[in-house]
Structure 1
Amino acid sequence: MKSIVFTFSFVVLFTQLAMAQQSNEEQNLIKLSLDKWQWMADKDVEKLSQLFDEKSKFVHMSGTWKKGEELDIIKTGRIWYKKVTVKDTAVELFGNTAIVWNRITLDAVVREQVAVNEFTVTEVYQKNGQDWKLLALTFSSVRDTHQIKH
């Protein structure tokens, strides 16, 4: 009986430890994603430039472009990501690749017009050494009742 209790306790402890490590990496990605939204709102292209991979792509309602154009759009304010309200987040890890889904309300200024939209944003990251690099960011227009399945 003692060996069963010991074995069960060991399995529970090991499982919790494994989940805590995974959760830690997931939490790091969630924080990085939230930081990214703040950097976009602040037009901090220096930090964004370090985060965005050289080959990164960005899909918006009005087009698809690469890193340089996205940074220019942010810097010049052609799109000002004024405020992002994150309603839900999900993370999936695949080795050194991660996908982060954010369910957001975006308050933006686009070509001098205020725009408030509901999106699910898909962010693809790849770990490069100790750092995560953003490879792709895609805005999908959704209804405000849309939910991310965890």
Structure 2
Amino acid sequence: MKKSILGILILILIADISFAQNSAAEQEIITLSKNKWQWMSDKNVEALTKLFDEKSVFVHMGGSWGKDREIDIIKSGGIHYKKADIHEVSVKIIDNTAILLNRITLLAVIGSNEVTNPFIVTEVYIKKDGAWKMGSLSFTRLMTP
């Protein structure tokens, strides 16, 4: 009986430790995503260059491209991500991959036009050498605000 209770307590402790680790990793991704939105708003291409993996892909309403073009677009102001109002966030971690979904309202300047759109944004992060790198950023425009 004592061994059974001890075994159950050990299982509960292991489950709590595992949950805490996942929760900390999820919070790390949420914080990284929030920082990324700020860096995009600030046109901080140095921080973004470090964050984006060399093989990363970006999907927008106007097309898809890789890291270099995304950095160039941000740097030149072709797209200025002025402000992302984040309404909902969820994170799923699968091994060394994190998938974050944001429901946002994005205020952006594209060319000389200021636009506001509601999006679900999918962000995929991969843990490499102990650090999270962005592998994909994809915008899906919502039909309702």
Using structure 1 for the length normalisation, give the TM-score. 0.89
Deviation (angstroms), 1:142: 1.1
Partner of 1:69, secondary structure, is helix
**Runs of 5+ in structure 1 lacking a partner?**
146-150
| Residue in 2 that maps onto 1:148 | none
CA distance in 1, matches of 2:104, 2:4: 47
Deviation (angstroms), 1:66: 1.0
Q: How many residues align?
A: 145
CA distance in 1, matches of 2:8, 2:135: 41
**Runs of 5+ in structure 2 lacking a partner?**
none
| Residue in 2 that maps onto 1:35 | 35
CA distance in 1, matches of 2:94, 2:4: 34
Of all paired residues, the percent bearing the same amino acid is 47
Partner of 2:93, secondary structure, is strand
Deviation (angstroms), 1:55: 1.3
CA distance in 1, matches of 2:26, 2:122: 15
| Residue in 2 that maps onto 1:51 | 51
Match for 1:82: what amino acid? Answer: K
Deviation (angstroms), 1:126: 1.0
CA distance in 1, matches of 2:37, 2:24: 20
CA distance in 2, matches of 1:17, 1:66: 38
CA distance in 1, matches of 2:123, 2:18: 24
| Residue in 1 that maps onto 2:118 | 118
Partner of 2:35, secondary structure, is helix
| Residue in 2 that maps onto 1:141 | 141
Deviation (angstroms), 1:8: 3.9
| Residue in 2 that maps onto 1:20 | 20
Using structure 2 for the length normalisation, give the TM-score. 0.92
Match for 1:80: what amino acid? Answer: H
Partner of 1:13, secondary structure, is helix
| Residue in 2 that maps onto 1:10 | 10
Single out whichever of 93-102 and 136-145 deviates more from structure 2. 136-145
Deviation (angstroms), 1:11: 2.9
Match for 2:72: what amino acid? Answer: D
Aligned-pair Cα RMSD in Å: 1.6
